[in-house]
Amino acid sequence: MTKLIRIFLLSFLGLTVGWLPAAAQVKPSGNTAGNQTLVERGRYIVENVAMCELCHTPRDEHGNPDKGRWLQGGPAQLRPSYPSPYWALVEPKIGGGPPGTDADFIKLLTTGISRTGSPPNPPMPPFRMTRADAEAVLAYLKSLPH
Ligand code: HEC
């Protein structure tokens, strides 16, 4: 009986020791490939889902997004068709990093509450993203030129 327990314990130890290096290898934090994936996901959300550029990228003389000033903010493109006293006339620059702290930005995209403690003025949508999506958007914006 004692011998059986010893064999069991030894084989368990063998398994654990064999497994540890493998577990250490798959740790993703801090590696460049992981960050690249995050940036790509952020780009997908910004350019194809939430369409941040519709408002945050100035237009050229033909009304097309000015690629040279990608997400650099400027005068609002959209005007309301009804009286709206709080309608914002300027969009801030977000390419290279949004205004405020990272925490402000994550709060804005996950709760729809801006740095003022209230929702941003229209037409900025009060987004309710998941934290993971908001972090991906932040990583993408920071990857752009300042
Ligand atoms: C329909 C137009 C529109 C879209 C789409 C839009 N924004 Fe905005 N955004 C605005 C306007 C207008 C403001 C200024 C709001 C204000 O002055 O309160 C603003 C403000 C902001 C601010 C500043 C908030 C603060 O606390 O000062 C950030 C950051 C921001 N937007 C990020 C984004 C991101 C990221 C996206 C896409 C996920 C996005 N916006 C999509 C119009 C838009």
In a domain, 57, yes or no: yes
Look up the domain containing 64 and give its range.
34-78+86-99+131-143
Segment 70-92, tens digit of pLDDT: 999 999 989 999 999 999 999 99
- Radius of gyration over every alpha carbon of the chain, rounded to an integer in angstroms: 24
Supply the DSSP symbol for 32: H
Please state, in angstroms and rounded to a whole number, the distance separating the CA atoms of residues 66 and 64.
6
In a domain, 106, yes or no: no
In a domain, 11, yes or no: no
Q: Whose CA is nearest to atom 34 of ligand 1?
A: 52
Q: How many domains does the chain have?
A: 1
Please state, in angstroms and rounded to a whole number, the distance separating the CA atoms of residues 110 and 15.
43
Beta strands in the chain (DSSP E): 74-75, 90-91
Q: Can you give the pTM of this predicted structure? A: 0.82
Segment 109-144, tens digit of pLDDT: 999 999 999 999 999 999 999 999 999 999 999 999
Rounded to the nearest angstrom, the distance between the alpha carbon of 135 and the centre of ligand 1 is 16
In a domain, 107, yes or no: no
In a domain, 119, yes or no: no
In a domain, 126, yes or no: no
Mutational test site, ligand 1, from 43, 44, 49, 52, max ligand atoms within 8 Å of CB: 52
Mutational test site, ligand 1, from 91, 102, 137, max ligand atoms within 8 Å of CB: 91
In a domain, 93, yes or no: yes
